[in-house]
Amino acid sequence: MVNQLKIADVRSESTSNIIQDEEKPGLGVCGWMLFIVSVFFTLVTLPVSIFMSIKIVKEYERAVIFRLGRIMDRKPKGPGIFIVLPCTDTFIKVDMRTISFDIPPQEILTKDSVTVSVDGVVYYRVSCPISSVANVSNASISTRLLAQTTLRNVLGTKNLSELLSDRQGISQSMQESLDEATDAWGIKVERVEIKDVKLPHQLQRAMAAEAEATREARAKVIAAEGEMNASRALKEASLVIAESPSGLQLRYLQTLTTIAAEKNSTIIFPLPIDMMQQFMRKH
């Protein structure tokens, strides 16, 4: 952000230098006559005209003075006190603070033919008061309209997945496009943010169903992997018990202890393992 501000200041300074380097047109004979008459009447009516001649602009404002329709000195006045002639001079105040505005929701057709509604917010400030007054009739309205068309143009080249996942990249692309287009108007676009992306209800239901199916499939895979690992563990346990006959008896006693600890109404008649093996051999 600091680098962007430095670039904007350098750009505004270069613009001001170009304007100052231009040949300043003269007022002409009639212009000078009107100027002298205005000064004369100002001096004659000095006690009253002084209140009409002294103007004040605040720290965050600049004044662009027009003398007989021409920009005076090619440089804005302020902040502080400055003097204008009541008859020949007019001035326009320009606010230098950062201004924000909302981009109304725009119905946009994405690259993969999906209709979405997108809105955003733009932060900008006036970097060159002379250009913002002389080069465009209304810099604020022009920037708002340009932001709407830029939002449509940028999002029209993106897929729905890119629109949902790469908001920061889209905001950066919009900021660069707006800043380049408004440079001639003396406007510096500082930041652009995508606020909300509204999808059609049918598409929302389809995406929710797809996500739910994906989660169910993932859960089934995890359960199957757990059963496979459990079966392998049981196989290894059976091999260990087969190598030691007394191990089966210990497992049997451990199972009885677990059942007795639950304090339920189950009645168990323990039988020796050897007796069961004899019946198994007969069969």
Q: How many residues can be counted in the chain?
A: 283
What mean pLDDT comes out for the span 78-87? 84
- Binned at pLDDT 50, 70 and 90, residue 12 comes out as very low
Higher per-residue pLDDT: 241 or 148: 148
Q: How far apart are CA 224 and CA 55, in angstroms?
A: 82
Q: Which pLDDT score is estimated for 7?
A: 44
Tokens of 22: 């231009």
Cis peptide preceding 47, ω within 30 of 0: no
Whole-number percent of the chain with pLDDT over 90: 24
Residues 6+ apart with CB under 8 A from 50: none
Mean pLDDT across the chain, nearest whole number? 79
Q: How far apart are CA 224 and CA 218, in angstroms?
A: 10
Cα–Cα distances (Å) from 245 to 198, 233, 242, 250, 273, in that order, read 68, 19, 6, 9, 10
Q: Which pLDDT score is estimated for 100?
A: 93
What's the predicted TM-score (pTM) here? Answer: 0.63
Query: In terms of DSSP bridges, do strands 187-198 and 61-67 run parallel, antiparallel, or are they unpaired?
Result: unpaired
Q: How far apart are CA 103 and CA 132, in angstroms?
A: 21
Tokens of 221: 């895979």
pLDDT in tens, 158-176: 888 888 888 888 899 999 9
Class (C level, CATH) for 98-199: alpha beta
pLDDT in tens, 62-79: 999 888 888 877 788 888
CB 159 within 8 Å of CB 222: no
